[in-house]
Structure 1
């Protein structure tokens, strides 16, 4: 399962969580989200957060609701993103809970309580957390993302990968090396795949925009509010400013993405987080703005996008089309062959986006059957997750000391493919644990 990350590390009475995420599923009432935790939240000393996507932080307020009062540590950008991500998640979950007549997963007071416990840390800053040494490294996945190395009281080192990035990324630094560790808990979202050449992605985006504009159509891009939307803005800014695509109305139809983009702007001149190219460009330009860009906050403004004649580009959430404003645009535009829907991120099993990507001829949106006649495109090189070669390269420097690798955060076929590759290339014992498994290191 590629969501809902949550790991419990125990060492001589100390209990630390790494992430506490929401399972991303069609409905709120999945037992993995709403059910009781397999541990007492009040006994947890600290939570280490790898990054601010909801599949890594979405249940932290529920921990607070059930008695957690320990420390929460992450990078500063992750801390800033978390409030907006959790507030947005609370709004969606509460609405669904009311429709289903079940209890809310958590309330606004729980989000505020979580924020009051949250501490920002720097990359490479060694932290003492209840006697364990903790160090955050740049994972190159989104702004502020980390993998985390924990050193036990006996000196054993375990790395929790979080989500590792598809480097080099347009905005942020490439992922770092973990150095020598004894154990690795490794994500495997694309454990069996090889991405397109990363240098081709801007050209592919240019081609999709040009062909849709030429046909007089609408280009819909379901995009995650955090990182993917900002990368798209950066790429479109470059294409527009350099005259490589026609000047076309571009709508960012996501209040959450707009709020998060303001945080990106805040850090865009900070070379601790942004790469040199992005910082240099940001010195002379607003890298997230360009002629024709329209930011859409209010619902009535979102509905009014339909009044703007094609060609036009609409970027909206949710990134897997499993909710959000993008569904209203898909409902309106999927049935027209002049239009295009472009996927630039992972589409989970069971999501509307996955169905469209895999060739569904009809999909259900808001209870209506919508024919899919629009052109369907995908650019895998925009993925924010490392592919199989990158995952192997990340592990390779560790393998002299590495005793075991635990594969997580992936569909079964992806984990099995990566496990076989690690065993063949690195000769390291590799395990695919089941949810709830306990392992003594």
Structure 2
């Protein structure tokens, strides 16, 4: 049995892990590398995309760094099942189309420049037609329903608590070559206990023989969620009192819905003023509609909120508006009163948030609130690090707006959460592979697994490195 780590190895994005067993090839996730546009563009074209040689793809969740390369895989000849939860399938239906649209736009922009220089033009990694074709191969299954997906390989998905539909992947394998039974667990992204909307991560008490585990926040602690909600209240009120606009770059899936729900609660409690709130992201709007279709994924807190509150929709209330058209988005440039604008992309590398930043980044009255991890070399990382000037659409702008960060809204477990999840395993894995973390973070977290939990062998794979297990 062999594992090869084609993505999310010593980095956070591009999750792709290949398992070869019993003459079959199973891919765990098929994500895009994200970050600075040029770097991501090159990585995604040089990465693993051997579609016709695969037998099956298991998808942990819908985030693009885990799912975004699926249309490329299908385009290259993959014809097998793409197995995930039903909620993940529904999210991918809109998210992969959006990713394809971005691919096409980026290539169109690049080709205008290349044409002027008489250089060979690029083709998009995949198109919207490729994304549509990929959806035919999705197979949605429920949590905790064990099923045989290939001879001698049984799959169970359990709730990872990271976002709607996210799953830990459990593979119970009879390794024919060595005549042994092996349990392999792939964590996907592990969520946090006690945050609203979705369930807490499942506890895998039985443990594993082989563990592939994420380490995104393996070296830091998140503040408790209630503290982050109080901080959000403070930031809204202070920005309002300055007469400014609160800009929140947010990932369209998960983070936007969390923020809307938190603002809804603060509004109902009269903890924030009656300030207009705009969700200016077409993808976030479509994804929110899918959230409404899956109340079975909600935790007890939001179900109680629905029962007590006259507003039957947790993602819509009196002062909230979802913009639809480009013209609606442009109209936000003419706002003269305080407002809150939530817009994608979360790392500020694309999307409508760039237009709002260009308009408001130079004004001290305004606030930029960062609520998610920012990849190296992205505009978001430069803003968080407090650079005096930043480049937007090729033009330099002074960074005068106040910058605030809140990690308490993160959908990823922090160091203690990750160790608690792994430490609950009664059977300690004999081999552990730490992925989905920057190299320094992964190194620190791997040492924590060894010293604090007593995991005997913990490796941090290099990109494309293989291991016999």
Q: TM-score, normalised by structure 1?
A: 0.97
Deviation at 1:108, TM superposition (A): 2.3
Corresponding position of 1:34: 45
Corresponding position of 1:433: 461
CA distance in 1, matches of 2:444, 2:426: 18
- 306-315 vs 13-22, greater mean Cα deviation: 306-315
- Secondary structure of the structure 1 residue equivalent to 2:346: coil
Deviation at 1:400, TM superposition (A): 3.4
Corresponding position of 1:306: 333
- Secondary structure of the structure 1 residue equivalent to 2:321: strand
- Secondary structure of the structure 2 residue equivalent to 1:185: strand
- 13-22 vs 276-285, greater mean Cα deviation: 276-285
CA distance in 1, matches of 2:321, 2:54: 44
Deviation at 1:87, TM superposition (A): 0.5
Aligned partner of 2:83 among 73, 76, 90: 73
- 398-407 vs 356-365, greater mean Cα deviation: 398-407
Higher relative contact order (CA 8 A, sep 6+): 2
CA distance in 2, matches of 1:158, 1:31: 32
Q: Is the 8 A contact 1:197 1:381 kept in 2?
A: yes
CA distance in 2, matches of 1:36, 1:439: 19
Q: Is the 8 A contact 1:186 1:406 kept in 2?
A: yes
1:142 aligns with 2:163: yes
Per-residue CA deviation, residues 78-102 of structure 1 (Å, 9 max, x unaligned), is 0000011110010111111122230
Corresponding position of 1:53: 63
Corresponding position of 1:173: 199
1:44 aligns with 2:54: yes
Alignment of 1:147-226 (within 5 A): 147-153=168-174, 154-179=180-205, 180-226=207-253
Alignment of 1:7-26 (within 5 A): 7-26=17-36
Alignment of 1:353-372 (within 5 A): 353-372=380-399
Q: Is the 8 A contact 1:140 1:169 kept in 2?
A: no
CA distance in 2, matches of 1:317, 1:222: 5
Instruction: Tell me the number of residue pairs that the alignment of Structure 1 and Structure 2 aligns.
Output: 437
Corresponding position of 2:303: 279
Task: Return 5+ residue gaps in structure 2 as ranges.
Answer: 1-10, 111-120, 175-179
Q: What's the RMSD between the two structures over aligned residues? A: 1.3
Deviation at 1:412, TM superposition (A): 1.0
Aligned partner of 2:127 among 107, 110, 115: 107
Task: Return 5+ residue gaps in structure 1 as ranges.
Answer: none
Corresponding position of 1:2: 12
CA distance in 2, matches of 1:193, 1:80: 33
Per-residue CA deviation, residues 197-220 of structure 1 (Å, 9 max, x unaligned), is 222111111000000001100100
Q: TM-score, normalised by structure 2?
A: 0.91
Deviation at 1:398, TM superposition (A): 2.1
CA distance in 2, matches of 1:186, 1:32: 22
Deviation at 1:350, TM superposition (A): 1.1
Q: Is the 8 A contact 2:101 2:127 kept in 1?
A: no
CA distance in 1, matches of 2:192, 2:361: 30
Per-residue CA deviation, residues 298-342 of structure 1 (Å, 9 max, x unaligned), is 111111012222210000000011111111111111111111000
Deviation at 1:43, TM superposition (A): 2.1
Moved over 6 A (4+): none
- 151-160 vs 311-320, greater mean Cα deviation: 151-160
Aligned partner of 1:256 among 258, 283, 295: 283
Deviation at 1:36, TM superposition (A): 5.6
Deviation at 1:72, TM superposition (A): 0.6
